[in-house]
Amino acid sequence: MKSEKLFSPLDQHARSWLKHGLISSFNGSSETLISTCQHNRVGYLSNVAELNPIKNPSPTYLFPSGDEFQLGRQTIISGCVAASPTVDGIDEVLLQLIPIWIQQYENTASEASRSDWERAVIGPLEVGSTNHALIERIELARTRIREMEDLRTTQFSRSAYYMGSKSALAPALSEILQTLVTPDTLILDLMTGSGSAAGVFSRSWKTLASDAQHFSTLLAKVQGGGMDASTAEKCAEEVLKNARIHYDALPSYIHDQIKIENDFLTRDLTPHTIAELKAWLSEYPRVNNPTAPKKDDLMGLVVERRIKFSSEPYLLFSAYYANLFYGVRQAAEIDSLRFAVEQLLDEEVRQWALGALICAVSSCAYSYGGHFAQPKLDVSNGERIELLAKEMLSNRGLSVSHEFFVRFCALATESEKIPYSIEQIKGPWEAAIDVMTSRSKDGPICVYFDPPYTRDEYSRYYHVLETLVRYDYPDVSGKPSIPKRGASGRYASGFSTRTNQQIELLLAQVLEQCLDRNWTCLWSYSSSAAATIDSVLNRIAEKIGSVDIFSMDHIYKAQGKHKSKPVKEYAIFIRPIARHQ
């Protein structure tokens, strides 16, 4: 397909369809564009309507609106007084799916039912049709989305904090796939991140999750099927039992420090107490704490464990992150829980327990929005300690063990309702595509591609969670005690580059690899992202059969002190060019 045929500029008809939300536009590299495929589809349905005008409109339309119009032979779109005056992100996508559904169901209603009207309301519009299959399809989408949105009330149990998580948008992504792929399709979440999209996909399809960071695939796994509440509760109890034994066996200096911490937790924060707290925090014996007195015996234990990671007792979090991202007791709990998880004999259960522990460790961190790029507590900054002392000590009252138990059981209870378990595929993306190539005989493949939108290096934000999984006592530096870029535990992504052209090339390369294998792709991107949609897809236009672009309003909150800002999130469904077999 020639590149100019993928996208079209806005014409008079497209502006009308855009006004009613039936298509989506995006800011291209030089002008506002729409998908040619969608333009042709709505144009075809409009032509059908002109040739087959509805003579017997709905009896409720006493005063026809000048804003109503017909699509296809059986459907009228109009404003609705009873409808919501605004449209949310999910409704935006449903409206953009309407032309596809009309095309799919246009011939399912019998001529005898042409006068029997049914209606559905989406945002500010009413869809009236004698095509009952169309209305049923809209209501089915509504039902599925309500069920998924209800699940978001228990989001705390299903995932860790994660930049760019698709938990709010995943129901819309799922509905796009419900429309455009078959039930036997294998869904590969290629850069799964928080795993929230894979979790939603696994409710309808066999789903595989991949990522360069192992903790991400574990987060995906625990949002799918394959676990039951009874097994999880027994497993969690076994983990806690063994963790208590491990906790008691920790070196005496850790227990002594826990007693000091407990004393601070019970004292009033007088100026004298604050002064003592500052001194204790700045001198705490921790790897990479330049203000602490040298402690040879601690480093001796760490060096020993760098040679043999499984040396007992487990000490990584106590040695690296106590009085940094966690309290001393919390760090000891994490070490003890990690040890106990490793003793589980069943590999599947062990992965589930480790996934639940990741969620608990993420939720208990004292950090900025759940990320670890910079510590919220800077032990070298006395004024900062004084400002945050009350909040920090309150956070240290959280029990990681309790969070682990509650989350594991909640994850398992939800898992019982999900038909498909989520299979993990080791990343990075090149490796995952190679593995999936051998799976093509198992059914059609659709790749969900959610790459980084910016040049931010995601591994920098989540190095603690990856270290929890690897548990390899890494060499670290800087205030967040972070592994060197490119070292084990801190993946160096090709998207962390300074040039937009480099990002465009990499995006196009990933998509091209999928299309060459005759896979469809659902690509998530944003109006705030580094590249533009047309500049990426035009690079591989000869490989593309058609493109459907869906958009939804979203509020994006970047890390740090950046203010939230409105953006457009795009879901671009790409079909490979048809091939002769």
Angle separating helix axes 347-364 and 400-415, nearest 10 degrees: 130
Report the pLDDT value the prediction gives residue 115, as an integer from 0 to 100. Answer: 60
pLDDT surpassing 60 at residue 152: no
The CATH number that applies at residue 519 is 3.40.50.150
**Does any domain span residue 547?**
yes
Residue 564: pLDDT band by 50, 70, 90 thresholds?
low
Domain stop point among 144, 174, 196: 144
pLDDT surpassing 90 at residue 276: yes
Domain stop point among 398, 429, 463: 398
Give the least confident one: 51-65, 254-268, 344-358, 466-480: 51-65
Give the least confident one: 26-40, 463-477, 543-557: 543-557
Tokens 């003579």, residue? Answer: 55
How far apart, in whole angstroms, are the C-alpha atoms of residue 511 and residue 31?
A: 23
Tokens 């007693």, residue? Answer: 259
What is the Cα 364 distance to its own chain's centre?
A: 20
pLDDT surpassing 50 at residue 112: no
**Does any domain span residue 186?**
yes
Are 172 and 86 members of one domain? no
Report the pLDDT value the prediction gives residue 496, as an integer from 0 to 100. Answer: 64
Are 165 and 218 members of one domain? yes
Angle separating helix axes 347-364 and 328-342, nearest 10 degrees: 170
Report the pLDDT value the prediction gives residue 154, as an integer from 0 to 100. Answer: 46
Per-residue buried b or exposed e for 337-373, using 16+ beta carbons within 10 Å of the residue's own CB: bbbbbbebeeeebbbbbbbbbbbbbbbbbbbbebbbb
Give the least confident one: 61-75, 128-142, 344-358, 565-579: 61-75
**Does any domain span residue 581?**
no
Overall domain count for the chain: 3
Are 513 and 455 members of one domain? yes
Are 452 and 464 members of one domain? yes
Are 254 and 182 members of one domain? no
- Specify the higher pLDDT residue, 485 or 205: 205
Are 137 and 267 members of one domain? no
Are 234 and 268 members of one domain? yes
Q: Which domain holds residue 92?
A: 3-144
By the 8 A CB rule, do 23 and 34 touch?
A: yes
By the 8 A CB rule, do 85 and 125 touch?
A: no
Are 222 and 243 members of one domain? no
Q: pLDDT of 495-529, one tens digit each?
A: 766 678 888 999 999 999 999 999 999 999 988 88
**DSSP three-state, residue 27:** strand
By the 8 A CB rule, do 105 and 75 touch?
A: no
Helix, strand, coil abundance in the chain, percent, nearest 5: 50, 15, 35
What average pLDDT does the segment 128-153 reach?
85
DSSP label of 110 = -
What average pLDDT does the segment 554-580 reach?
75
Report the pLDDT value the prediction gives residue 456, as an integer from 0 to 100. Answer: 66
Give the least confident one: 286-290, 423-427, 558-562, 565-569: 558-562
Report the pLDDT value the prediction gives residue 153, as an integer from 0 to 100. Answer: 39
pLDDT surpassing 80 at residue 416: yes
Mean of per-residue pLDDT scores for the chain: 88
pLDDT surpassing 90 at residue 458: no
Residue 463: pLDDT band by 50, 70, 90 thresholds?
very high
Q: pLDDT of 311-368, one tens digit each?
A: 999 999 999 999 999 999 999 999 999 999 999 999 999 999 999 999 999 999 999 8
Peptide linkage before 57 cis (omega within 30 of 0): no
**Does any domain span residue 173?**
yes
Report the pLDDT value the prediction gives residue 230, as an integer from 0 to 100. Answer: 97
**Does any domain span residue 114?**
yes
Are 381 and 261 members of one domain? yes
Q: Which residues pair with 8 in a beta bridge?
A: 34
Report the pLDDT value the prediction gives residue 428, as an integer from 0 to 100. Answer: 93
Q: pLDDT of 134-143, one tens digit each?
A: 999 999 999 9
Q: Which of 96-110, 161-175, 335-349 has the highest average model confidence (pLDDT)?
A: 335-349
**Does any domain span residue 518?**
yes
Phi-psi region of 106 (alpha: psi -120 to 50; beta: other; left: phi over 0): alpha
pLDDT surpassing 90 at residue 166: no
**Does any domain span residue 403?**
no
Report the pLDDT value the prediction gives residue 516, as an integer from 0 to 100. Answer: 96
pLDDT surpassing 60 at residue 533: yes
pLDDT surpassing 80 at residue 235: yes
Are 134 and 47 members of one domain? yes
Rounded to a whole number of angstroms, the CA Rg of the chain reads: 27
**Does any domain span residue 405?**
no
Are 265 and 375 members of one domain? yes
Give the least confident one: 263-267, 438-442, 565-569: 565-569
Are 220 and 246 members of one domain? no
Domain stop point among 376, 398, 420: 398
Phi-psi region of 471 (alpha: psi -120 to 50; beta: other; left: phi over 0): left
pLDDT surpassing 60 at residue 581: no
Q: pLDDT of 360-385, one tens digit each?
A: 999 999 998 778 988 998 888 888 89
